[in-house]
Amino acid sequence: MTTPPPDGLIVVAKADCPTCRLVEPLLAELAAAGPLRVYVQDDSDYADALPDTLYDETLEQSWRLETEFVPTLIRMEQGREVSRTYGWDKSEWRTISGLSGLGEELPAMRPGCGSKTLEPGITERLELAFGDVQLQSREIDVSAEDDAIEACYTRGWSDGLPVVPPTPVRVLRMLKGTTRDPQELVGLMPPDLVPCTVEKVAINAVMAGCKPEYMPVLLAALEAALEDDFGLHGLICTTMFGSPLIMVNGPIAKAIGMNSGNNALGQGNRANATIGRALQLIIRNVGGGRPGEIDRATLGNPGKYSFCFAEAEDSEWLPLAQERGIAAGRSAVTLFPGEGVQGIIDQKSRDPESLARSIAQSLRAVDNVKLAMAGDAVLVVSPEHARIFIEAGWSKQHLRDTLEQLLMAPGEDLLVGAGGIAEGIPARFKDKQVPKFRPGGLLIVRAGGTAGMFSAIIAGWAASGPVGSSPVTREII
């Protein structure tokens, strides 16, 4: 606890501010009329003849008084502020001081200077030192090491790429991106099932390179990943390829500058790159899901560094999140246990029937052409391909229905051993028509640059559905 400022007048000043120097001769007059405390932000002889001038070396008092400019003149009564002005404004100073002849020879007005409390990087330090936020994470002193980034590598906190060292100031700045309490529990983080707080999310977001404004997306993505339907525990530990892919819908994608256009599935956009990476770092650092340890992936996929993009929403096609129950105009994330990207090149189809057949044939490659109802898939349709469907009046649902029809296959072709291939589905499907995907197992999004008659398949985990992982959509609040 700090002692509240005394009743009377308070002036906060800086010696190197010309306006503070301008009003300095008036301070004796104010002190003679009643109690006056002067806080000086820089080391000087400013107003040192007055009885109650204090050097605010730590800036604590200036910060507590929420000083933005110097000079600032404040009147306190019964422990509470009743009036304030800043800079030199003759009539304001006269009103607040009650001295009607104050500063007669001075000009009517002079602007002040910025308070030292608002210099870059200072505000967060003052908040950490004097504010209410109490960060709980263990502090690790790396001053004996040459380079903080190398120190992060040494401790095993990195995915292989450099991380931004999570200093308390950076973490506090990241926490400004959410209204949630730093100590709020987001969930139990698999595979170690340890409590993950908003603060731990923020630390890993700093390391990934996120901006604070990404926090709501990251928190929603983490909460979606932690829903039981998503089966994150098994997804982290599996020998197979998959890992969380984040797809973003709604106005927040544009607001934080996400890429849904050229190279949407590739590198180069900060939000796409760092939101996906932050989720992976949380899995690694908080959950303990490290490759070669409990992450048993045989091959993995490059998306395990980061896999996150936004849908290029088109008024003619229902966005993914709305298909999955989110209201129009709201933002949401959809989590999918994605593998890598398989391109579909079709530069010749000009009608939706041909293009749908072309895409359906390509989708058969998911998992293995002889497997069915194992892994889900995301079909990413580029604008030039989407246009062919949209101009022919095909909705996403129509495309999905058509693909599902085209993907029915005679069971006998897929059986174990059929075609001289041991892999395949059980003999009980011999006389049945077999769908490639389980119901609801084919997701369609529109993304990509406006030139290029390509689409892409992102295959899911071969343990899709209740046995393993189902896609999860969650609104971003």
The burial of 212, by beta-carbon neighbours within 10 Å (0-12 exposed, 13-18 middle, 19 or more buried), is given as middle
Where do we find the tokens 């984040």?
246
If the CB atoms of residues 259 and 469 are measured against another protein, the closer one turns out to be 469
Minimum Å distance from CB 251 to another protein? 30
Amino acid at site 285: N
Minimum Å distance from CB 233 to another protein? 6
Tell whether residue 99 is a contact of another protein (CB under 8 A): no
If the CB atoms of residues 207 and 341 are measured against another protein, the closer one turns out to be 207
Tell whether residue 143 is a contact of another protein (CB under 8 A): yes
Site string for another protein, 296-325 (x = CB under 8 A): x-----------------------------
Selected binder of another protein within 189, 219, 226, 355 (CB under 8 A) = 189
Per-residue HEC secondary structure of 173-196 comes to HHHCCCCCCCCCEEEEECCCCEEE
Minimum Å distance from CB 138 to another protein? 4
- CA 355, distance to chain mean position in Å, is 36
State how far the Cα of 173 lies from the Cα of 354, in Å rounded to an integer: 52
Token digits of residue 226 = 């932690």
State how far the Cα of 378 lies from the Cα of 336, in Å rounded to an integer: 8
Mention every residue, 6+ apart, whose C-beta is less than 8 A from residue 405. none
Site string for another protein, 201-230 (x = CB under 8 A): --xx--x--------------------x--
Site string for another protein, 268-297 (x = CB under 8 A): -------------x---xxxx-------x-
Token digits of residue 107 = 């000009």
CA distances from 158 to 153, 243, 281, 458 (A): 6, 17, 7, 26
Site string for another protein, 27-56 (x = CB under 8 A): ------------------------------
Minimum Å distance from CB 125 to another protein? 9
If the CB atoms of residues 257 and 288 are measured against another protein, the closer one turns out to be 288
Selected binder of another protein within 106, 122, 133, 142 (CB under 8 A) = 142
If the CB atoms of residues 113 and 278 are measured against another protein, the closer one turns out to be 278
If the CB atoms of residues 362 and 464 are measured against another protein, the closer one turns out to be 464
Tell whether residue 187 is a contact of another protein (CB under 8 A): no
C-alpha Rg value of the chain to the nearest Å: 31
The one segment of 37-45, 82-90, 142-150, 369-377 that binds another protein by CB under 8 A: 142-150
Minimum Å distance from CB 337 to another protein? 10
Where do we find the tokens 């506090």?
172
Minimum Å distance from CB 146 to another protein? 11
Tell whether residue 151 is a contact of another protein (CB under 8 A): yes
Task: State the CB neighbour count (10 A cutoff) for residue 313.
Answer: 21
With CA atoms as reference, report the closest residue to 82 among 8, 147, 190: 8
CA distances from 277 to 16, 107, 308, 375, 463 (A): 45, 57, 8, 24, 23
Minimum Å distance from CB 459 to another protein? 17
Minimum Å distance from CB 89 to another protein? 36
Q: For residue 72, what is the DSSP state?
A: E
DSSP, residue by residue, 221-287:
HHHHHHSGGG-HHHHHH-SSS-EEEEEEESHHHHHTT---STTTTSS--HHHHHHHHHHHHHHHHTT
Tell whether residue 411 is a contact of another protein (CB under 8 A): no
If the CB atoms of residues 153 and 454 are measured against another protein, the closer one turns out to be 153
Give residues in contact with another protein (CB under 8 A).
Answer: 121, 135, 137-143, 148, 151-152, 157, 165-171, 189, 192-196, 199-200, 203-204, 207, 228, 231, 233-235, 238-239, 281, 285-288, 296, 463, 466-469
